[in-house]
Amino acid sequence: MKNIKNFAGFTLIELLVVIGILAILMSIVLTAVNPAEQLNESSDVSDKTVVDDFIKANVEYLSSDNAMPWQKNAACNVELATGGTLASMPDCIHELVKGGKLESDEENSDQAKNIYMSKCGSSAVLCFNPRSKQENTNGEAQYDKFGNNQPGCPLGNGTSPQCYICKPILNTRY
């Protein structure tokens, strides 16, 4: 009788089959989760937070100074009349930071480069271009970057470089 040793373990074929099944499951999970869309959604949430913080800072400024920042700071008024990103409006942001209404780290944030502010009557409007498909298709992204109604938005097929979400800075006293 031959001496047969029992080897406990898996064969190469069994291991390859299990690795193949795991690869298929992993691709299904990654497709369902869509990490790129998750990152885009988190960027949209960050932009919304900065917009909300900026609006709150302006309302606090109005409450304490009885004027909006651009009504007290001529350079801010010029920046606002021209329109542009928050990053391109240092005088407006500085007016809010020095008054203690806005955190100084907002001044140099990446979101400040993605959010546009422009004059709207005696007040202003803040706009950002959403990166996630959800924000573009839920009906909020209906404006250009200056707060004007944009026909054809949202396109319903994902992100659009022309469609922005806008929120006004309320200025009911002036």
**What average pLDDT does range 49-55 have in this prediction?**
89
The CA-atom distances, in angstroms, between 141 and each of 30, 41, 167, 169 are 27, 14, 11, 17
pTM of the full structure: 0.74
The reported pLDDT for the residue numbered 173 is 47
Q: Give 31 or 86, the one with higher predicted confidence.
A: 86
Using the predicted structure, report yes or no on whether residue 174 has a pLDDT greater than 50.
Answer: no
100's tokens: 């203690």
Give the DSSP letter of residue 86: G
> Residue 22 — very low, low, confident or very high, per pLDDT cuts 50/70/90?
very high
The reported pLDDT for the residue numbered 100 is 76
Lowest mean pLDDT among 82-91, 95-104, 140-149: 95-104
**What average pLDDT does range 96-120 have in this prediction?**
78
The CA-atom distances, in angstroms, between 166 and each of 6, 163, 169 are 72, 10, 10
Using the predicted structure, report yes or no on whether residue 10 has a pLDDT greater than 50.
Answer: yes
The reported pLDDT for the residue numbered 122 is 75
158, 112 in Cβ contact below 8 A? no
73, 61 in Cβ contact below 8 A? no
- For the chain, domain boundaries: 42-169
Tell me the pLDDT of the chain averaged across its residues.
Answer: 82
The CA-atom distances, in angstroms, between 82 and each of 19, 99, 124, 149 are 59, 23, 12, 19
Name residues whose C-beta falls within 8 Å of residue 9's C-beta, 6 or more positions apart in sequence.
Answer: none
**What average pLDDT does range 127-150 have in this prediction?**
80
